[in-house]
Every structure is written in structure tokens, then in C-alpha cells.
Amino acid sequence: MSRQRKARVPRIGFVSLGCPKALVDSERILTQLRAEGYAVSPTYEGADLVVVNTCGFIDAAVEESLGAIGEALDRNGRVVVTGCLGARREAILERHPKVLGITGPQAYQEVMGIVHEHVPKPHDPFMDLVPPQGVRLTPRHYAYLKISEGCNHRCSFCIIPSLRGDLVSRPIAEVMDEAGRLVRAGVKELLVVSQDTSAYGADLRYRLELWNGQPLKARFLDLARALGGLGAWVRLHYVYPYPHVDEVVPLMAEGRVLPYLDIPFQHASPRILKLMRRPAHAEDTLARIRRWREICPQLTLRSTFIVGFPSETDADFETLLDWLEAAQLDRVGCFTYSPVAGAAANDLPDPVPADVAAERHARFMEAAARISTAKLAAKIGTHLRVLVDTVGPDGAVARSPGDAPEIDGVVRIARPGPCQPGDFLDVTITGADAYDLTASPAAAA
């Protein structure tokens, strides 16, 4: 490369907060920056400008985002804010009037516009070659695949629809193109994310498209089947228990997509679910879970719940505990309710005192841990195929089909033999605790 071409490359710092969906937004902006010849600075001090991709989902996330903006301003001084919190301009400007610009979520072009204004785009077509799969923030062997934006529901505790708008699905050929590029670039696991994965394509009226000569409809079942044909693990997040989800479970039983469903049930008391305005709240979820497990006994079910929602009584909470006991969910997260500015639930009467909510949270997590411990203990002696995430002096850390990265457990293999991140290993499970498994390579066990 000539001296001239090595002339100073403008550098952009990037702070990515929030959920996997926000991570996908960050990856798109980073890909665009790299495509235009900007370098990404690993430090605030080395950057010409810093982009902060924020989260505004709950009050704690708002605080974290405002703190991150403050830190970037202190250490760099030139800051662009994007992401969910960007939809609340006044809240940002009140604390940080000196930011250069603010955009809402998915506003890639707007972010780039502000960047261009303050740090002109370099003009060297040779300077940067972006890999065809884009720039990713996750390890090379797994990637999040965002299939839609926004949400048509109006859960009373949530402000995402007012931040991100109604459901807008990506055309199925575009999603498949991206997924194919990722797999060709070495991705072994695709994590399908959106606000409501089971609603995919409803806004497109399930439009039929041709992809690689194959007719595909923009709907959940076709997408899951087609993704399952790419040769990578496919994990489905944020699915709601609608009847049509039943159709995808046979694909899991066949091994085409991972036998894993991440379904945010949030509660089990019909009264609370109604107050929460949850999608599919009238479904008999226990019957549905029973049916799925009949079709696919190895299914792992993950979910999240909220306890201490306004007016939740002891009886509502006991209904939830009984439901959890009956549902025997594999992986469970639980939050105590916290109001989000602008959410409809803030107007509900009868807040639950903080100590009562905390006690319910502890009881719920205790029950969930007991179920998880028993379920994982039952895996001892079984054989599983795992995907290696890291390899170090203490062995390998891998994940089974039942473990999503970052939110679920892991499988530790003390003596895995030669392997590297992204390898699949066949192992025998030798031990278990409340959340994680230990294993030996299958042949050596």
C-alpha cells in the first residue's frame, strides 16, 4: 500500500448497548462505516467521533445508556446517539446537550449522515474491503439474523412499538441471502431475532418470492425450513405460542432447526396476562407445550417472566408458580416489574410493594433453579453434539442445542482434544449443576 494511501484514516468509536436486536443494528452501522473506508477505533481517545447505540427498554437501561453517552462525551467529546433511547430526544438533551446528533433505532442512513457531516468520508476505493458477510460483533461462528423490525402488539409494560413502530418484515429472499453469506463465511449457528418471530411476514401478506430458484413464502414455517437447509444450527428466539408455531416443531424433531424455543411467556395468570395485553394470552399454553414435547421430546424451552406486575395478588403469583411446575421449563429468566416511562401499565392501580415483588422473584427463581437442576441431571450419561465457543488452558467451553449464547448455560469439557472455536464435538455428559453441564469427548467417555 502506498504512503499516500496510508494517509490518516478517520476513526469512529462505537459503543453498543442493549439486546441482540440492537447488536444487529450496530453491526449494520459498523459494516457501513467500514464499507465507506472509516476505521473502527477501539478507544475513545483514538476516535474522531463516537457512536453510542443505546437501549431504552427499562429504566435501568435508560440510565446505563445515559451514563455511556456521558462517558463518551467526557473522554472524546464528539458523540452521536442512536438506538432505542434516541427516540426520547428530550431525555438525552436534558442530560447531554452537547451531543452532535440523535437518531432513533434502525436509522442507519441518518447515523451515517451525521458521521459524514462531522468526519468527512475518506475517498479511497482501495482502502477498505468489507468482508461479504459484513462486520459482526459476535464471535465468528455464530451470528444474529434479524428478520423483522417493530411489533404489532401493544403489551402494556412495553414501549418498543412506540420506539420502533409496527412490524416490518424483511423480504424472505433478502434474509436468506444474508443467512447464506454468513454460513459461507464460516458461521455455524444462526440466531433468529426480531420482536415477534412467529409473526414474521404478516405485514408482507406472506408474499411469495423466488430464492435460488426455490419458491418461498415470507412466513415463519417457510423461513425456518429454508434456514434449516443451509447446514448451520438455527435457533429461534422471541416466538409466541400461536397455533401455527406447532408446524415448526416437527422441523425440530427432524433435526432441521434446533429443538429450542425462546418464548417470553411473562406470566401465567389469565388476569395478569390480560392486563399485560400479551399476544396469545388466551391460549392454553400448557396444552401447547405438552403437544410440542410429544412431537419433539428433546425440545428445550426458554422463557422470561415478570413478577410484581401492578395488582398481582398472591393468588396470581401462586398460579404462576403452579404453571411453572407443570410446564417444567428448561431455561427461565425473571424480572421484577419496573415501570418504563411512557408505558400504558404505569396507569394501572395497585402497585406491588418492592419487598413483596423481591420475595416473589426469589421464590420463582428458586423453583426455576430446582427444575433446571433436575432437568440437567437427567442428561448425565447422554450423548450430545456441542458447538465449541472458546478453548483455553482449562479446556473448552461449548454449548449444546439447548444453550443459546450469553443467556443460557454452557457445556465444559476439561480434555476436549484438539479443537477450536466453531468446531462441533460429540460428547458424553458426565456432570451437571443448576445451569451448566460437564462432558467428555464421546469416544473417551
Positions touching ligand SF4 (CB under 6 A) are 151, 153-155, 158, 160-161, 195-196, 279
Nearer to ligand SF4, 38 or 144 (CB): 144
Nearer to ligand SF4, 272 or 413 (CB): 272
Give the DSSP letter of residue 303.
Answer: E
Beta strands in 55-193 (DSSP E): 79-83, 101-102, 142-146, 148-149, 168-169, 189-193
Q: Nearest CA to 240 among 270, 197, 291?
A: 197
The answer to whether 99 and 72 are in contact (CB under 8 A) is no
Beta bridge partners of 190: 143, 234
**Least separation in angstroms between CB 145 and ligand SF4:** 18
Nearer to ligand SF4, 99 or 239 (CB): 239
**Least separation in angstroms between CB 106 and ligand SF4:** 14
Nearer to ligand SF4, 40 or 343 (CB): 343
Beta strands 189-193 and 233-236 are parallel
**Least separation in angstroms between CB 42 and ligand SF4:** 32
Spatial separation of the C-alpha atoms in residues 68 and 59, rounded to whole Å: 14
Beta bridge partners of 262: 302
**Least separation in angstroms between CB 312 and ligand SF4:** 17
The torsion angles phi and psi of 383, rounded to 5 degrees, stand at -105, 140
Task: Give the residue ranges of DSSP H helices in 159-218.
Answer: 160-164, 172-184
With cell 460437564, the residue in question is: 438
Nearer to ligand SF4, 23 or 51 (CB): 23
50 grid coordinates: 463516537
Q: Nearest CA to 255 among 282, 284, 286, 224?
A: 224
**Least separation in angstroms between CB 352 and ligand SF4:** 19
Nearer to ligand SF4, 52 or 158 (CB): 158
Nearer to ligand SF4, 231 or 342 (CB): 342
Nearer to ligand SF4, 155 or 182 (CB): 155
**Least separation in angstroms between CB 199 and ligand SF4:** 9
**Least separation in angstroms between CB 277 and ligand SF4:** 8
**Least separation in angstroms between CB 181 and ligand SF4:** 27
Q: Is 332 helix (H, G, I), strand (E, B) or coil?
A: strand
Give the DSSP letter of residue 60.
Answer: H
Q: Nearest CA to 399 among 430, 368, 364, 427?
A: 427
- End-to-end Cα separation, the chain, in angstroms: 52
With cell 436534558, the residue in question is: 94
